[in-house]
Structure 1
Amino acid sequence: MADAILEFREVSAGYGSGIVLDHVTFAVPESGSLALLGRNGVGKTTLILTAMGFLPLTGGSIHCRGQDISKAPAHRRAQLGLGWVPQERDIFPSLSVEENLTVAARSGRWMLDAIWELFPRLKERRGNMGNQLSGGEQQMLTIGRTLMTNPAVLLLDEPLEGLAPIIVEELTAAIREMAQNEGMALVLVEQHADVALALTEDALVIERGAIAHRAKSQALLNDRATLERYVGMNLDVDESASRKA
């Protein structure tokens, strides 16, 4: 795909001798947005880690902006435009919010003023240390810091996990802003299918390390039978009191 930001071509990968991804092929176009759905343990996070270069390929190839990056180290992939927001909020606890944001910044659209506009909470807490933030604020900071590297495509691995509903609303609004108004390409791994499909254009369902279903996000959102088959009951944001701010 000539205009693809990120492309997997028959990619197989895993841990040691165990194969988790099995001949996976897909492409994310310029300004495209893709939801990766599936039950726990089917290979979604493995796909993200493989894209970033943390897991070696056992077959196939990965391309970024047409360049084969299959053997490129993670830092080189970041330089080429892959931005990763991991499940773990990997911030620097002893640095301030502003220092966390600027520590790996590269020039481009996403500078401090743009981050403050996207996440007003962070601007209010710009002098706070990372360990003084709530879980939701730390997630905002993780996304903001990745944006400060000015990536071409943002890989988000369950960014809403374990967060209070009000924080989920703020983060989904920010992701929607990036995808729809900023034209940023993104790949979103999210357990809550309704949320992921509402934020993206295209969707892939992963099952047992392979692509089991492809669809436009809106079409899949309306196909409850297919969602139930592949995703189960994770169709709505859990608003239980067990979620933490």
Structure 2
Amino acid sequence: MKDVLVGMGFSEMDGPHADADFWIHDCLFMPQDHPARTHWDRFELDVDPIQDLPADLADRVESAHREGWGDDGDGYDSPWDRDFAEAIALRGHTTSLSMRHLSGQARGELEPPQRWFSVEKVYRNDTLDPTHLLEFFQIEGWVMAENLSVRDLMGTFEEFYRQFGITDIEFKPHYNPYTEPSFELFGEHPETGELIEIGNSGLFRDEVLRPLGVDCDVMAWGLALERLLMLMYGFDDIRDVHGTLCDLELLRETEVVR
């Protein structure tokens, strides 16, 4: 998986599994009363809050939440609690790594063009079923460049999934607080014919990028590794791929790249 992305010109990023809600959610312009930020969806940790949030960045993010960004911006007109932003939780997605890198906190200021990825574990307080796990691997990626479009986004996915023998991807418009336009990705299960959601994507909004100091386009995505394997090998239960029910010998012997 990583070799494919490196071959496409991406560099790998990493970061903490437990992080401040600021990096996990606030930088993504997700309101603090969003359902994904409650104990029903996230794993909050009973540890001391983060102490080193960049003050100027936190002020800009708070302003975006309250007032939006730019002349046409529209914030949430709701309280923004810095103590909540500083609380530590297990990351529910690896976009927290993207926020750290785009803000310059991870590797210094980045100039376009840039391509970065991670294949890292994430944690969600979901109900276990054939397509959901409490922890799984997310394929995070983003591209920073001038004048990016939806065509660039779709072309990147087609090139990536073709490496794994998957050539029929469906894109459906979707709403995210942090991207506009936004698309969910679906693939057809080879055994059941069911469409399975395999990822979420879009172009980051100004309310995300401008507080981070980024003044060009960034397209980004989060893809599900285990669901990709379901499409490739016909597993009808994601727990056959990751977790206590999976056949480790099968996973050791199975080639992922075709």
- TM-score, with structure 1 as normaliser: 0.30
Structure having the higher helix fraction is 1
RCO greater where, 1 or 2, for CA within 8 Å and sep 6 or more? Answer: 1
Larger C-alpha radius of gyration, 1 or 2? 2
